[in-house]
Amino acid sequence: MSKRRGVSGIRLLAARAAIRATVRLLLAAAAAALIIAAAPVSVVAVSGSAFAWLTGWPPGRLYRAALCCVPMLAVWLAVTAIATRSASQVAAAPYLAWLAMWHRGAAGSYPAAAAVIAPPAIPAGLAAGGLAWSYRIRSMEAGSGGLSPDAAVSFDLRQWRHQARSARARISAPGAVPLTTRSEGIVAGAVIRAVRHPARPIATIPYARVRSHQVVVGTTGTGKTTLLLRLWAGFMATALLRHAAGRGKAPLLVVLDCKGGADARRIADRARRVLRLAGARSTAIWPDEASLSVWALPPEQLTTTLVDLIEHGTGAAAYYADVMEAVVELAVSAPCGPPASSADFLARLDTGWLSLAYSSGHEAELALVRSAARQVGDIGLRFRTLLRRLGGGLDGAGGFGDADAWYCILEGTAEISVAQAQARALVDLLASYAAGRAGPLEGREILLAVDEFSAVSRRLPVWQLYERARSLGLAVQVSAQSWQGLAADDDERYRIAAAADGGIWLLRTPSPEAVAALAGTRKVTDTTRRLIGVPVWSHRGTSRIRLAPVVDPDLIRALDVGQAAYIYRGGVTYVQVKRLVAGPAALPAPHRPPAPAPALAQVGATERTPGCAEPTDPAPRPPRPTRPYRAAATSPEPLPDVGALLDDAFGSEPGS
Amino acid sequence: MYGVQLDHLAAVLGVSESRARGIAAGWRSQRYAESARLGPGGPWTWLTRSGLTACGLPYAPAAPALGRLAHIRAVAAVRLALESASRYATAGGYWRSERRLRARMGGRVGLREHIPDGEVHWPDDAPAPWAGECWAIEVELTPKTARRTLAIMRELLTRTGDYGGPAAGTAAAGNQSPGPPRHARVLYLCAPAARPTVARAREALGAPGARIEIRQLPPGAAMAPPRGQAAAPPRGQAAAPPRGQAAAPPRGQAAAPPRGQAAAPPRGPAAAPARGQAAQ
C-alpha cells in the first residue's frame, strides 16, 4: 500500500514538474514569438538598452530620446491621414506598416523595410529599452539581479567606469561643454553620475550658487585648481554679461592664495589668461605686479587693522597692547589727517611729533602722549620691522576697484607671520571697499576665493570671515586640501560647511567621511524576494529598508584626476571637470599708464591743519618694488608706424 | 586657408608650377589632399580629412566653396605677400586664418558676428615697434555698403575677447567701460572697386579710423580671367607689378619664368601669378 502511495507521489511530482516545464516553455516560446513579431521594436529596444549600458546613461535619457521621436511619429501619421483621408487607415497605420515591413523584408529590400517601420518602431523601441534598462538597474540595486551574489557590486563599478568614460568623451568633444549657459548657469563639466540630483549630461551650477558661500576640498594633483579656475571664469563671464545687460553690478574676483611660492605664480598667470578669455579686462597679481594701499582705510578701521597686524599676547602683554592701540590711535587720528604711507605713519610714532601735533587745544591727547612716551619708541620699532617685512604690497596707490580680478599671493608657507598680517590687511581692505560701495550703482558683485586660508587665519578665523562677508554681500569660496585643513577645530569646520549655501565640491581626499556625511543618507531596499518572471516577484522572502549614504566615501577616495563630487541639498552630482584652456599669450599685455600720485597723499599734503607739524621723513623712502596698478584702458598713444612693413609686403601707396 | 591654387602652392613650396603639380599629385595619391580645377586659372588643392589629421588641424574637411574662390585666392595672396616681407619674418609675425578662428568658435558664430579674413599676431618681444599687437586682416574685392563696412570696422576695433573664448565681445555688446581692444589695428586690402567705400567708412569712424590701414591688394590676388577673355588689368591697377621688382625671380625659382608665364612678379612666392595673370 505504502509502496503504491510512494509511486503515485513520485508520479504526481513528475507530472507537476512536467507541467511547470511545459508552461515555462510555452511562456518562453510566446515571449520569443512576441519578440520576433515585434522585431523592429525589439531591435531598437535591445540596441537602446545596450547603448545605455555602454555609456552609463540613466533610463530617463532613453525616455527623453523616445519623446524626441514623437514629432516624427506625428508627422508620419499626419501624412498618412492626408494621403488616405481615412481615420481607420490612420489607426491601422502601425499595423499596415508592420505588414509592409515583413513583405518588403521577404522581398529582400531591407532598407525599404526599415524605412517603412521606423516612425512607429523607434519611439516604441526606445521607450521599451528604457523600461528594460530601468528594470535591470532596479533589480541590481535591490541585489536580486545578476548571476552571482556580488553581481550588484561589479555592475555598479562597471557602470561607474562606463559613465566616467562617457563624461570624458563629452568634455573632449569640441564645443560640447561651454563655460556658461543662456540661463546664466556656470558649466563645470560633464555629469558622471547624479544621486538625488537631476541627471543631466552637463553639470551646470546656477549663478546664484556661485554668489553664495562654497567649499572646495581636494588634495594636490586632483584637479582642484582646474575646477577653481573654471568656477572663477564662469563667475566672471556670467557677471559681466549680467552687468552688460543691466541685471547686475560689475564683478570683482579676489583670490587669496595662501600658499605662495613659484606654484602660486604659475597659477596666477594661468588665472589671468583664463579670466581674460572670460572677459575680464584686467587681472592684478599682488604683490608682484600690483599694490594696494592699506592707508586708504577709514581712520577708525585703519587703527584696528594696524594694531591687529602686530603680534601681541595675553595676560601682562595685554597692557602693552592697550598702550600700543592708544599710540596708534593718536598717530592715525592726528588733527592733520590720517597717514598717507608707511613712512608718514612711522614718522608719527615719535613723541616729539605727537606732542607737536596735539599741542594746541588737545590737552587730553597730549596727556596720553606724555604717559605713553616711554613706549612710543618701542612701538615705532615694531611697526618699522613689520612694515619692512610686509614689503610695498600694502603701501602702494592701488585699490580693489582698479581691476576686475585680483590674485593675491601670500607666502603662507615661507613666511607665515607676514602672510597672516597680509591676510588680515587684505580682508580689511576688501571689507572696507565693499562697505564703501554699497550703493546700487557703484557696487560690485564680489567673490572672495581663499585657498588654504586656515594657514594664515590665526588673526581672522574663517567663520568670522564668512560672517563679515555675509553682512557685506560678499560670496566666499574656501578651498582646502582636506577637511582638517578647512579650519583649526571641528566646530569651526562644521560652521564653515553649514554656511556653504552654494554647495560643497569634494575631490579626491584621503578622509572624506566628514564631508561626505554632510550629504546625508537615502533609503535603499534590500530584498530576499526572488524574481520569478518578468516582472513578477515571488511573495516569499522579506524586504528591508536601510539608509545608505548619499556620497560613498570609498568612491571619493577613488576619484580620478579632474573628477569631483558636488554636494548640494542632500544630493550629489559627480562631475568630470572640463579643463579651461587659456588662450595664447600673444596679445599685448594691458596698457598701464603711470598711476597718478596717491589721492590720500595729496589730501594729506593739502589738508593739514595750520600749525600742525610736518612730519619729518625718518628715513629715505625705500623704492617700491611693485608698481601701482591701474585698470587697462584704450591706449591714448599713437600707434607705431607700420608703413614700411606694408610697403614691403604690398607695395607703396600711389602718391605716397 | 580653405584651399590654394596651383600658382600659390608653387609659391609656398618655392618650386615651379610643374613641380608643385607633381607634389600635389603625390598628396592626392596618399589621400592627403584633393585637387580639381574649380574655376579659372590653375587647379585648386585642398586637404582631405586625412591631410588635416596629418597636419594636426582640427577643421572639417571641405572643398573650397565655388562662390568664394576669388576671395579665398585674394586672402591667400595677401597672406603670402605679408609672409614674404622681410620685416614680417624678422618680427616673427603669426597668421591666424579665418578658418582657424571659425574652428575656435565651434560653429557658434552669431548671425551678425563678423569674423575677419585673418589675424596677424606679433610676439611681445618682436624687434619691431608694433610688437605685441594683434591685427585684423580684411580683404575687400567688391564694395559692400558703407554702413555695413562701418559696422564691421566698429566691431573689429572694439572687440576685446578672443574668438571662441567665453564672453568674447562683451565689451562690444555695450559694456560701459570696455577693456583694451583685441585688434590694435585693422588692415584692409582692397580691390580698386572696393577702396572708395572702405575709405569713406574709415572717414566716418572719426578718430578711431586712425587704427585702420588701407592698402591695395597685392599682384596675383585676382583670379585669372575666364578663357576667351583678355587679361585686362582691373580698373585703376597698373599693368606691371609695382615697385619695379618685376624681374626678381621667385624664391627658389630660376630667373626664367615657368612655361607660359611672363616675368615673375615681386618676391615671387607671394605673388606668383598663374598663367595669364602676369599682366595684372
Residue ending a domain, among A85, A113, A141, is A141
Residue with cell 591695395: B216
Partner-chain residue, chosen from B87, B210, B211, that has the shortest CB–CB distance to A648: B87
For residue A584, list chain B residues with Cβ-Cβ distance below 8 A.
121
DSSP A382-445: HHHHHHHHHGGGGBSS--GGG-SEEEEE--TTT-HHHHHHHHHHHHHHHHHHHHHT-STTT-EE
Q: Residues A269, A251: one domain? A: yes
Q: Range of A85's domain?
A: 10-141
Q: Residues A493, A601: one domain? A: no
Beta-carbon separation of A583 and B84 below 8 A: no
Partner-chain residue, chosen from A180, A244, A584, that has the shortest CB–CB distance to B174: A244
Beta-carbon separation of A281 and B160 below 8 A: yes
Using CA atoms, how far apart are residues B220 and B270, in angstroms rounded to an integer? 8
Q: Are strands A571-577 and A543-549 parallel, antiparallel or unpaired?
A: unpaired
Terminal alpha carbon distance of chain B = 23
Q: Residues A485, A534: one domain? A: yes
Q: Residues A569, A447: one domain? A: yes
Q: Residues A289, A302: one domain? A: no
A591: cell is: 596698457
Q: Report the number of distinct structural domains present in chain A.
A: 3
Using CA atoms, how far apart are residues B91 and B207, in angstroms rounded to an integer? 28
User: Chain B residue with minimal CA distance to A241?
Assistant: B170
Eight-state DSSP code of residue A187: E
| Most confident range, picked from A307-321, A364-378, B65-79, B171-185 | B65-79
| Cα-only R_g, chain A | 36
Angle (deg, nearest 10), helices B6-13 and B17-29: 100
Q: Which of B75, B80, B87 to mutate to test the interface with A (most CBs of A within 10 A)?
A: B87
Q: Does A157 fall in a domain?
A: no
CA of A584 vs chain B CAs: smallest distance (Å): 10
Partner-chain residue, chosen from A179, A587, A653, that has the shortest CB–CB distance to B215: A653
Cβ contacts of residue A31 below 8 Å, gap of 6+? Answer: A534
Residue ending a domain, among A141, A163, A196, is A141
Distances (CA, A) of A447 to A312, A444, A470, A533: 31, 9, 11, 57
Q: Residues A417, A276: one domain? A: yes
Q: Starting at the edge strand that comes first in sequence, how are the strands of the sheet with B212-216 ordered?
A: B94-97, B118-121, B134-140, B185-190, B212-216
Segment among A36-50, A471-485, B63-77, B125-139 with least mean pLDDT:
A471-485
For residue A646, list chain B residues with Cβ-Cβ distance below 8 A.
187, 213, 215
Q: Residues A273, A402: one domain? A: yes
Q: Residues A268, A411: one domain? A: yes
**Model confidence at B158: pLDDT above 80:** no
CA of A283 vs chain B CAs: smallest distance (Å): 11
CB proximity B209 to A under 8 Å: no
For chain B, the average pLDDT equals 76
Distances (CA, A) of B172 to A590, B50, B96, B152, B159: 17, 38, 21, 12, 5
Q: Does A633 fall in a domain?
A: no
Using CA atoms, how far apart are residues B265 and B274, in angstroms rounded to an integer? 11
Can you list the residues of chain A whose pLDDT is less than 50? 439-441, 584-636
For residue B166, list chain A residues with Cβ-Cβ distance below 8 A.
178-180, 233-234, 237, 277-279
A184: cell is: 546664466
Classify burial at B147, counting beta carbons within 10 Å of its beta carbon; exposed 0-12, middle 13-18, buried 19 or more: exposed
pLDDT of B205: 85
- In CATH, what number is assigned to the domain containing residue A258? 3.40.50.300
Cβ A98 vs Cβ A114: under 8 Å: no
CB proximity B37 to A under 8 Å: no
Instruction: Give the whole-number percent of chain B exceeding pLDDT 90.
Output: 44
Q: Does A164 fall in a domain?
A: no
Predicted TM-score (pTM) of this structure: 0.60
Q: Does A351 fall in a domain?
A: yes
> Tens digits of per-residue pLDDT, B22-36?
999 999 999 999 999
pLDDT, greater one: A317 or B15: B15
Q: Residues A410, A551: one domain? A: yes
pLDDT of B228: 56
Beta-carbon separation of B167 and A278 below 8 A: yes
Residues pairing with A569 in the sheet:
none
Using CA atoms in the order A495, A497, A503, A507, what is the torsion angle rounded to 10 degrees? 160
CB proximity B22 to A under 8 Å: no
CB proximity B235 to A under 8 Å: no
> Tens digits of per-residue pLDDT, B48-62?
988 988 888 888 888
Residue ending a domain, among A141, A157, A176, is A141
For residue A233, list chain B residues with Cβ-Cβ distance below 8 A.
166
CA of A176 vs chain B CAs: smallest distance (Å): 9
Scan residues 179-208 of A and list those with Cβ closer than 8 Å to B: 179-180
Beta-carbon separation of A277 and B171 below 8 A: no
Mean pLDDT value across residues B209-220: 92
Q: Does A626 fall in a domain?
A: no
Scan residues 565-594 of A and list those with Cβ closer than 8 Å to B: 583-591
Q: Does A642 fall in a domain?
A: no
pLDDT of A437: 59
Beta-carbon separation of B94 and A586 below 8 A: yes
Using CA atoms, how far apart are residues A308 and A328, in angstroms rounded to an integer? 11
Q: Residues A272, A414: one domain? A: yes
Q: Residues A271, A403: one domain? A: yes
pLDDT of A624: 34
Q: Residues A459, A564: one domain? A: yes
